[in-house]
A and B are shown apart, each in its own frame.
Chain A
């Protein structure tokens, strides 16, 4: 039994008379502690997959199991609970609360979890021990994304889901962020799922899931992932 498994998961959006099949029967699984990358072109449905995995969206049919729990059957509240306790999210645009300092942004997430990590420790861990009291506006993009990651990690989630975490960042910074994520996975055994359209990144993952037109085109396992530093794009 895999840690995460999608079985014939579908997601359809009904827009008036048109039904759009965003995800059309996705099957994959990810093992605990893996660094997985979901890759595919724009509009392939990868974000939808991530959203369903992260409990931000419900699937139309199929089965999503996370750590033996069937997420696909959750109601809104259960989904929230699931997000609250089991999921850490990192977005392309950081989505920090502008009005809170780095530390406070982390604390914001931590305050609602069952077993949060110490906010300060987490920030120090992501390398922002010196910017604890800065507001997002005072931080660079990379720093903000670090805060976002710290915020996700502080919740001590089962899964860390990242949607194009480097999309808004420059090459170097993006790399640093990816390293942080890879390190987090390696060092803390965190299951990390990253979405990207950049296939160049796939070598750093334990598992790569290719999605195209709402289906899993290919799923490959990488027994020897390349460290981020070694990847060029």
Chain B
């Protein structure tokens, strides 16, 4: 049997070949629609899938337990045995400072939260560490360098080593976001993590226990099932947590109490030791004192004894001396007596001699007398002479009597002398006795004195010895005392401190919050959550965009197919007349549509499902440390998207075929009755219609005549314009707000945190420095505090600004209404809050909000100010005092640099300021801005994709519709050419319509775009940021201009197509 050739197939293939531009346009439209739909829709699941894979492969914990008192091995075991818990791993961590970065030192994971090595390797030695690239960049380190960290005083003992060799950079599934957690150190937020082998930790208890749930790894981390199971697991661990916490509480408490008690007894011991020492010293003192007393009394006794002895001796001596004196006197008397005696003797002898002499003289005288007489004797003269010599004889007789008397006297004297002599002799004997006695007395005295002296000397030496001993004792005592005092002085503060510590410790212990276990799910990990939120944002973004896109593309496909079937009406009629079945005939068109849309859809699927997620995920990699991108097989989405594209196009073909095939072959082969021209409503408005030039009338009629095409085109162009408006608008809304926020509203360039107890001098110092700094344009002191604001439900973190001088503050923060930029008055009537906060809280002017910090107060909203980033509550100092019942001290300084000052100036100022007393922190606004810009980048990528896709779509749709417009009216245009219309005129004839359609479409698109944009903005907005609510004029202008440009390009292309229209051929065919 001869195989019959299927000429319908030939026809089909030729059809494709001849109308390749149409085929391509359907293919391209399908591809674009599917690519865009699938790409954007698949992105979020792909991202989540990638993350989930990453989590699974690195065994990210499903949850973790932290306790206020750490976790013991037993805790871990108990946790591991809990129902639903699969694996448990304890980990240590401590925060430290590395140069100016704050790092979280963490123990290397064993089974859970495994690290993803980016570069280098994992630590093998205890002194090796891995960290993240960010830190290396920040510190200017490289792999192989040494990282040295400084621990806080309280954590001094946590690590056995503080220097580590960096052996690699890693990513941790615990930290996929930029948030590294908070700390009590430095600025309060951790900059980076560092993983070190666990053996470096010297901690009794684990800091954290990570756990995984049974069978949870199999679930998609971002699925509802996972969320449900996780929350169930976390809830189920609650009793265990309470039990373990209370056990731990008791344990810690008793341990602490024991420690305290030990400390107490230790302190007591120390105190006792001191006291003992003191007592010993006191004893020694007493002993010394009694020694001294003894010594003193001994000394006194000795003195007394000596004194007494001496006195006695002296008395003896004085007696002796008296006796001596008396003896001497006696001796002198004796001598005197002797002398008198001798003198008497002498005088006696002299007198005797004298008497003798006198006697002799007298005798002589007598002799002479006699002699003198003698001659006379017998002479009468004798008697005369005797008478004459009688005086002489009387004298001699008297002398002789006197001498006789003398002799007598002398005899008496002689007796007397002899008596005296006897007396003298007796005295002499007496004297001799006395002398003897004296000698004995003196000897006695001498010996007494000697004895006394000896005794004294002995006593004294004994005393001196005692004194020396005492002095030694005293010195020793003094030394002891000094030592004691030193020791006491030394020990006292320590002891006091110890006591205070103990007291404090006891107080703390008594007041110590009971041990709490925090069982937290993976869903509290900020990176995990923010990643999903960002993915969700992309998802939101992709919710309606691709649909609009898809609809527009599908419309274009539909039009094209309908048009194709209608064009081939005659052929359909012929085939039908030839006896082909409806199915066989429609196969061609359905097949055409099917093949084009399927191939296009598949290409779109291939490109869209890979390229778009890759581009967006690439943007996310700036923010998230999740390696690579794993494509998730999202069969329903893929199939549905391709199916939708195929169904739209093929359905259109089918519908067009069927509606055509219903007709009889005869009718079909006959030229279809031309669509009746009819009057358009505009014609009835005579004044306008009359004013229209002829050509415009034609345009108007044409526009309204082909209503389907009109709406098709208008919706197509409008949709694209709306997409472009939204795309640009979003871009602007996202980035413009940063400009507005940081250039127009927050006019300051840096915030300087001040110490709470800033002194006037410190303040002066800062002011002096700033006044002298040329780069600083302005600064002011004010009060800023982090609070939360709420009404009934959720509370939001806000910065509260209390302002002293509203006018001055206005130079730093421009409070204004968003709509008309009229100033917002800040006065005592209430607080001013930012717009986004008012939206979140659902309050308007006059409503009340609750502000909570240490205390909760209610405040009336006085006004709402324009603000985009973070939330702010502004109030005056008076109102603050009134609300909070206390005054505040300015704790922050706003700093504005001169225009054009960059980050270098900021860094210099920061460096100087941070060195000054009273300055606690410095943050440069541009840094915050940068970080916001980074975080917005991912969305921006999506937006760029939207813009590009929308532009591409706009182009394709316009091109397609213009093509249809031209082919549909080929003969009409040919007629015009035949009539002699120049090419330009012919083009203008069509162009006018296109321009009109474009204008209509653009207007529709601008209106649509406005709504789409505001809806979109709300969808992608985050709580912390308010995006610009209105697309900027330029977005509209640009969208309109871009659409116009595409229209122009398309029309220029159309012009050349028109030029090519073959009049002869065109006019032959019947319309």
Contact = CB atoms under 8 A, between A and B. Distances in A.
Interface of A: 47, 51, 54, 56-57, 76-77, 80-85, 87, 89, 91, 93, 95-101, 104, 107-109, 111-113, 135-138, 151, 155
Interface in B964-988: 971-972, 974-983, 985
A139 to B, nearest CB: 10
Contact of B694 (A82, A111, A138): A111
B674 to A, nearest CB: 5
Contact of B1064 (A51, A101, A113, A136): A51
B257 interface: no
B694 A108 contact: yes
Interface stretch (B388-396, B696-704, B745-753, B813-821): B696-704
B1071 to A, nearest CB: 8
B709 to A, nearest CB: 13
Given A56-B1063, A137-B675, A99 B979 contact: no
A54 B677 contact: no
Interface centre among A54, A83, A101, A155 (most CB of B within 10 A): A83
A113 B676 CA distance: 27
Interface in B667-708: 671, 673-678, 694-695, 697-698, 701-702, 705
Contact of A99 (B673, B705, B978): B705
Interface centre among B675, B698, B702, B1071 (most CB of A within 10 A): B698
B697 A98 contact: no
A81 B980 contact: yes
Contacts of A77: 982
Contacts of A80: 977, 980-983
- How many chain B residues sit at the interface, stated as a range, is 20 to 34
Contacts of A54: 978
7 contacts: A47-B1064, A56-B1063, A77-B982, A83-B978, A84-B980, A85-B980, A108-B976
Contacts of A95: 971-972, 974-975, 978, 1067
B698 to A, nearest CB: 6
Contact of A137 (B673, B981, B985): B673
Given A83-B980, A85-B980, A111-B694, 18 more contacts: A54-B978, A81-B982, A82-B980, A83-B977, A83-B979, A95-B1067, A98-B676, A98-B677, A99-B705, A104-B694, A108-B976, A109-B979, A111-B695, A112-B980, A112-B985, A135-B676, A135-B677, A151-B979
Contact of B676 (A87, A137, A151, A155): A137
Contacts of B694: 104, 107-108, 111
Contacts of B983: 76, 80
Given A97-B698, A99-B702, A108 B979 contact: yes
B980 A104 contact: no
Contacts of B513: none
B2 interface: no
B1070 interface: yes
Interface of B: 671, 673-678, 694-695, 697-698, 701-702, 705, 971-972, 974-983, 985, 1063-1064, 1067, 1070-1071
A97 B975 contact: yes
B1064 A57 contact: yes
Contacts of B674: 98, 136-137
A108 to B, nearest CB: 7
Contacts of A155: 979-980
B1070 A93 contact: yes
B981 A100 contact: no
A113 B979 CA distance: 10
B449 to A, nearest CB: 170
A87 B701 CA distance: 27
Given A99-B705, A104-B698, A112 B981 contact: yes
B915 to A, nearest CB: 82
B1067 A91 contact: yes
A111 B985 CA distance: 12
Contacts of B1070: 93
A111 B982 CA distance: 13
B698 A89 contact: no
Interface centre among B701, B972, B975, B979 (most CB of A within 10 A): B979
Contacts of B974: 95
A113 to B, nearest CB: 8
A85 B678 CA distance: 30
B693 to A, nearest CB: 9
A151 B980 CA distance: 12
Contact of A108 (B671, B698, B1063): B698
Interface centre among B677, B972, B976, B982 (most CB of A within 10 A): B677
B220 to A, nearest CB: 59
Interface centre among A76, A113, A135 (most CB of B within 10 A): A135
Contacts of A89: 978-979
Given A47-B1064, A85-B980, A99 B985 contact: no
B701 A99 contact: yes
A136 B1071 CA distance: 13
Contacts of B678: 135
B939 to A, nearest CB: 48
A146 B515 CA distance: 105
A98 B979 contact: no
A93 B674 CA distance: 12
Contacts of B979: 83-84, 89, 108-109, 112, 151, 155
Contacts of B695: 111
A36 to B, nearest CB: 19
